[in-house]
């Protein structure tokens, strides 16, 4: 065997080893596979959307309940004023409605 043959074998072996090392380094890790997996991402998004929709339903129920409470208070106040007037008395002067609450009270169907 000549020097050229030995050099050729060594270069081929080194090239093969470097190729294997590069292939191993470029291989995707399981963590990357999970992160990039489309079904995992869509399932997580579906869970988040369901969680947000549940929170929205809870908030809407709370707002509806608060509206009902305000309506009841307005009706009850009017009833008390009516009862006081029927008794021939003057009801106490009402406190002014805060500016922040005024838009909500104008739209109550009572």
Query: Where do the domains of the chain lie?
Result: 1-31
Distance CA 4, CA 92 (A): 113
Question: Quick one: pLDDT at residue 110?
Answer: 47
> pLDDT tens, 20-48?
887 777 776 666 666 667 777 888 899 99
Q: Which residues contact 74 (CB under 8 A, 6 or more apart)?
A: 105, 108, 110
Question: Quick one: pLDDT at residue 20?
Answer: 80
Question: Quick one: pLDDT at residue 83?
Answer: 93
Could you list the mean pLDDT of each consecutive 10-residue stretch along the chain, which spans 110 residues?
81 86 72 69 91 94 88 87 91 83 66
Question: Quick one: pLDDT at residue 106?
Answer: 65
> Do 107 and 67 meet the contact criterion of CB atoms below 8 Å apart?
no
Question: Quick one: pLDDT at residue 38?
Answer: 78
């Amino acid at each position: 065997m000549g020097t050229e043959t030995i050099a050729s074998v060594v270069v081929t072996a080194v090239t093969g080893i470097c190729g294997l090392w590069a292939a191993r380094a470029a291989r995707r890790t399981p963590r990357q596979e999970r992160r990039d997996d489309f079904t995992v991402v869509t399932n997580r998004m579906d869970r988040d959307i369901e969680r947000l929709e549940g929170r929205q339903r809870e908030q809407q129920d709370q707002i509806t309940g608060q509206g009902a409470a305000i309506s009841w208070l307005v009706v009850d106040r009017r009833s008390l004023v009516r009862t006081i007037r029927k008794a021939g008395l003057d009801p106490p002067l009402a406190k002014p409605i805060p500016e922040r609450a005024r838009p909500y009270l104008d739209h109550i169907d009572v």
